[in-house]
Structure 1
């Protein structure tokens, strides 16, 4: 175990500073370094990388409560409120963040992306809760339920920096099953490409539905091997090494089109 004075850790989330998942990670990570909490004062789930121009801040028992988004928290924490960290940890989110389509939607992941733009390594940790038809907000989870999340996040915080993991990844998107006795195995994964959003109009409103969660049976799951969703549903810890900013793909078709722009516009 590392000397607790070795690491500076900035901890944030999108469920809010009073969430059980944040407290569980705070307690676990405090054994590995100095943990500064800068987290939203209220639930900011699914806010993406939304940023504010000005946010109010209050000091709480656990750290700083920011009346803003996870991205606000990371900027405020790195630039002003806390010691500049060796690593940023976001989580633990109640509910999984799986698939390519959540990378820009999740507040948890967006906090890690924001850290990456500061060139600070980051880990976003979320927990898959097979809730069925019960809304996650109605589930009462204990600190013990987050044992798998705290165990693997602590392991990565302690070892990933020295191992050179962040020489090849800007941040890690970690998804874990609910704790169930023995530690689950870790699988290095890629985000699933599944996207099953749809919408239904009802009078003056439109109901948006994410149908991905309707087909999470391990026996019939359509996601291929190697994806984050398959790993977690089958009981493994998913670790996806990701980059920010996203890469670009230069190709001849777009280059040729760009070359004709001025000539085409001026001839019309």
Structure 2
């Protein structure tokens, strides 16, 4: 576990809340499945999903993320050298049974969600008590999107997740090509200035930290760190819209620059809308980008 410590404040001082593992694997699995969207940014679909008598296995959890990407979640109570290979085994099965998965999405979430499944960016999320340096190295050798997430219980009321490693799949352009290649969906109305602004936003968002996945969709481009932290819409004639996961009530809204869109329909995810019209807007938006990234 990292060096982060949790303390409970009392009138007489502070008491450290000691971290612990789950008593059983099912304890952490049940907790995450019941709160999967809040914890992982993934909508829960099924638990202990059977892959059939021929394949002979059960997927711990199946879900679909904020951008429509299929997600396999595997759980281990402690450290288990086989969790990544097991998860990749099930992810491979899922890619070979797309229609079955889409039927599941349709039954749970409706026809529209099933029609928008993003098969170009399937994900594996491994939640375990810990991982070895060999696990971290192993995920870098694969071309799939894999997140290694360490959990801890703190006392009886607190639960923590920490991303140990996050490796992006083929949905993200190579780092060397990022400045020249923007994944923001094109729009016939955009001009040169807006295109340059969109490319600059792309560069800044990808540069906020390691393990950021850029997921292009038809109506927006999501930037993901386990969960979405930013969504960029196609450039308009005079502005570029970015949606962030930052709390609109805590940032001090500026008319014409930031807007609370909580409960309002828009492309992508996030309750804070940032309107960029020129490079000076981008300079003052960077603190908001960092705030949203830190919360993801």
What TM-score, normalized to structure 1? 0.28
The structure whose RCO (Cα within 8 Å, separation 6+) is larger is: 1
What TM-score, normalized to structure 2? 0.26
More strand by share: 2
